[in-house]
Amino acid sequence: MTAARQPEPAVEVVEYTDPLCPWSWGSEPVLRRLRAAVAGRVRWRRVYAILFDHDDDPPPDPAAETAWYARYVAGITEHTRAPCAVRLSRVAASSWPSSLVAKAAELQGGDTAEAVLRRLRETVFVLGEPADTAELALAAVRGAPGLDLGRLAADAASPRVLRQVRADRAEARRPVPEVLDPTAGSPHPGVAKETADGSRRYALPTLLLRTAAGYRVVPGWRTFEEYAAAFDDLCPGLLPARDRLPEGGTLSPAAALARYRSLTDPERLLLAQGPWPPPHAVRVETGNGPLWLHPAEAELHPAAQV
């Protein structure tokens, strides 16, 4: 007898992001907790908006541009407390390679896609070497749990995945009206950005929550409570009460490190409860606090090899 097919969740969460975006990196603690809280209750879909595009003009002075961007990222980390690299080698030339690799990883399952995207983010904000070529993106994710690297390379270079990322880029440039005007209450309120061709795209990150009855949008850098309020407004009762508590949905330090394999200090404060660090955690220094790796992750993680 064929098993009955499970119905699709009634709620879709669209996350507009980019592997190399500093605000998306700084939002990971809250978004990781939110994804854990709604797991199995929603369909979560990532859209890669292409922060660094092919048609961006090259900087006339790359060294000055890099110095400016490093200060810009450091300013963001003052708000988010996310790690930043001790030294940034350059501003990313393109988001396409890392976005293609991240999208291709989705074909190998959700957990593998999460691990790959995490490694790609860490190339910029931990190592200071953005994965802005296909070779660098594939090298960065080597050894990620569950990953078939050969398949990933083939899929990332395929017409199918290229079409998907092109569709992502186009979708990110059709923002809903609510994000076109300034919104107060955050150092990064998420006002849609003007692009080189005069169109607008979602600021990153932005979450769009959708049901058949309507949608809510939560742009920019936001608290867990702000995301929860949007879910409550659209789908009352979707988020259990326990997930709203400071300790809601958290794991023991050892279990959190085993589950996520890579945790920043802001993440472990939201996702783990108990004395930190667990005895086996591997500490990696960055320019703004440590990155904590599970020992199995540290064996192959580029940050632990330098």
Quickly state the pLDDT bin for 2 (edges 50, 70, 90): low
At 90 the pLDDT is 96
Mean pLDDT, the chain, integer? 93
Q: Compute the distance between CA of residue 50 and CA of residue 17 in angstroms, rounded to an integer.
A: 8
pLDDT at 222 over 90: yes
At 306 the pLDDT is 58
At 304 the pLDDT is 82
Q: Compute the distance between CA of residue 250 and CA of residue 272 in angstroms, rounded to an integer.
A: 5
pLDDT at 27 over 80: yes
For the residues 299-304, what does the mean pLDDT come to?
88
Express each pLDDT in 234-245 by its tens digit: 999 898 777 776
CA dist 297 to 77, 143, 153, 261, 271, Å? 24, 8, 21, 6, 18
Q: 104-108, 237-241, 261-265, 295-299: which range is least confident on average?
A: 237-241
pLDDT at 3 over 60: no
Q: Compute the distance between CA of residue 226 and CA of residue 219 in angstroms, rounded to an integer.
A: 10
Quickly state the pLDDT bin for 197 (edges 50, 70, 90): confident
Q: Compute the distance between CA of residue 280 and CA of residue 255 in angstroms, rounded to an integer.
A: 12
Express each pLDDT in 109-142 by its tens digit: 999 999 999 999 999 999 999 999 999 999 999 9
Express each pLDDT in 43-90 by its tens digit: 999 999 999 997 667 778 899 999 999 999 999 999 999 999 999 999
